[in-house]
Amino acid sequence: MRNYLEFEKEIKSLEEDLETSKNPFDKDGISEVDTDKIKKIQDEINEKLSLTYSNLNSWQKTLVARHEIDLELIFILIKSFQILLYSQEIDYFLTINQ
């Protein structure tokens, strides 16, 4: 479960709506997923994110910097991590893929 900052409340509600829309199971059983509605909500989320983060004050930027990172993001960063080795003898960088 992601934690949201105070100024991200609208984004939170939109993301909850998005997850609800993606779920093919409702109170009546299996239902059809409305892809147009999903795209519309996703576009609205992207617009809100852009608008919100482009207008942060200094304190809000500090809060974002200190905000806990989603574990999924950490795994993505670790997975794409590359080690660079530099050899002065041959003046060459080596990359080690993990």
Residue 7 has pLDDT above 80, yes or no: yes
H/E segment holding residue 44 = helix 35-54
User: Could you give the dihedral angle defined by the CA atoms of residues 25, 29, 30 and 34, in that order, rounded to the nearest 10 degrees?
Assistant: -60
What angle do the packed helices 35-54 and 9-22 form, to 10 degrees?
160
**Predicted local confidence at residue 98, as pLDDT:** 47
Give percent of the chain with pLDDT exceeding 90: 14
- Give pLDDT tens digits for 28-67: 666 777 888 889 999 999 898 888 888 889 998 888 877 7
pTM of the model: 0.60
